[in-house]
Structure 1
Amino acid sequence: MVVHRIKMFILSLVCFIVPVHSSQLPNATIMDLSYKNMDFAMNLYRKIANYHDKNIFYSPLSVSTSFAALLMATDGLTHKEILQVCNLEQLDVDDQPQLIPRLFQDLQDNISHNGSLQVEQSMALFIRQNFEVEKTFEDDLKIFFQADINVLDFGNPKETIKSINDYVRQKTADKVPEMISTLNAMTQLLLVNTIFFQGAWQTPFNPNFTETAPFHIDNYNIVQVPMMFVEGRFYTMEDEPLGARVLKLPYKDGVSMLILLPNENMDYTMIDDEINATMFLNWISQLKKRKLEVRMPRFHLEQSYLLHDILPGMGLKSLFTYSADLTKLSKNKDLTLSEALHKAVIEVDEVGTTAAASTAVHISTHSLSMQFFINRPFFFSIYHEETKSLLFMGRVINPTKN
Structure 2
Amino acid sequence: MDFSDTVLSKLKGCAANPFHSQIMVIHKAKMAFTFILSCLCFFAPVYQAQPSSPTISDLSFKNLDFAMNLYRKISNYHDKNIFLSPLSISSGFAALLMASDGVTHEEILKGMNLEQLERGDQPELIPRLFQLLHENITQNGSLKLDQSMAMFMRQHFAVEKTFEDKIKRFFDADIKTVDFTDTKGSVRFINEYIKQQTDGKVTEVISNLDPLTHLLLVNTIFFQGAWEMPFNSNLTENAPFYIDNYNIVQVPMMFREDKFYTMEDVPLGARVLKLPYQEGVSMLILLPNKGMDYTVIDDEITAERFQRWVRKLQKIKLEVNMPKFKMEQSYSLQNILPEMGMTSIFSNAANLTRLSKEERLKVSEVLHKAVIEVDEIGTTAAAATTTGIIPYSLPRTFTVNRPFFFFIYHENTNCLLFMGRVIDPTKS
Q: How far has the Cα of 1:114 moved from its partner?
A: 1.8
TM-score, normalised with respect to structure 1: 0.93
Given that residues 278 and 359 in structure 1 are in contact (C-alpha distance below 8 angstroms), is that contact kept between their aligned partners in structure 2?
no
Cα deviation per residue 1:227-269 (whole Å; 9 max; x = unaligned)?
A: 0111111100001111000000000000000000000021111
Structure 2 unaligned residues grouped into runs of 5+: 1-36, 41-48
Are positions 1:264 and 2:307 aligned together? no
Cα distance per residue 1:51-84 (max 9 Å; x no partner): 1111000000000010000000000110000000
Whether 2:354 is the aligned partner of 1:340: answer no
Match of 1:141? 167
Question: For 1:40 and 1:177, how far apart are their aligned partners in 2?
Answer: 26
C-alpha displacement at 1:153, in angstroms?
2.0
1:108-147 matched pairs, under 5 angstroms: 108-147=134-173
Q: Given that residues 226 and 297 in structure 1 are in contact (C-alpha distance below 8 angstroms), is that contact kept between their aligned partners in structure 2?
A: yes
Identity %: 65
Are 1:207 and 2:207 matched, yes or no?
no
- After superposition, the CA RMSD in angstroms is 1.6
In structure 2, C-alpha distance between the alignment counterparts of 1:152 and 1:185, rounded to whole Å: 11
- Asked if structure 1 preserves the Cα contact closer than 8 Å seen for 2:285 and 2:405, the reply is yes
SS for the counterpart of 1:142 is helix
1:92 CA displacement: 0.8
Q: Which residue number in structure 1 is paired with residue 277 of structure 2?
A: 251
2:195 is the counterpart of 1:150: no
Equivalent residue number for residue 375 of structure 1: 401
Q: How does 1:217-228 map to 2 (within 5 A)?
A: 217-228=243-254
How far is 1:148 from its partner? 0.6
Deviation of 1:333 after TM superposition, in Å, equals 1.6
Deviation digits for residues 312-370 of structure 1 (CA, Å, limit 9, x no counterpart): 01111101111011111111121111111100000000000021xx6954211110111
Q: Which of 301, 309, 313 pairs up with 1:287?
A: 313
How far apart, CA to CA, are the structure 1 residues paired with 2:332 and 2:303? 24
Matched, 1:237 2:279: no
Show structure 1 runs of 4+ deviating over 6 A: none
Asked if structure 1 preserves the Cα contact closer than 8 Å seen for 2:348 and 2:361, the reply is yes
How many angstroms apart in 2 are the aligned matches of 1:309 and 1:25? 30
| Contact 2:345/2:351 (8 A) holds in 1 | yes
User: Partner letter of residue 93 of structure 1?
Assistant: R
The residue aligned with 2:207 is 181
CA deviation string 1:109-167 (max 9, x = no partner): 11111211001111001111111111111110000000011112223222221211111
Q: Which amino acid aligns with 1:10?
A: S
Match of 1:300 among 320, 326, 336: 326
**1:25: Cα distance to partner?**
3.2
1:324 corresponds, among 347, 350, 360, to 350
The one-letter code matched in structure 2 to 1:231 is: E
Displacement of 1:23 in angstroms is 9.4
1:123 and 1:103 map into 2 onto residues whose CA distance is 16
SS of the aligned residue for 1:191 comes to strand
- Cα distance, 1:226–1:338 mapped onto 2, change above 3 Å: same
Tell me the amino acid that sits aligned with residue 176 of structure 2. N
Q: Match for residue 38 of structure 2?
A: 10
Alignment partner of 2:99 out of 51, 68, 73: 73
1:187 match: secondary structure: coil
2:52 is aligned with 1:25 = yes
For 1:388 and 1:276, locate their aligned partners in 2 and report how far apart those are by CA, in whole Å.
Answer: 13
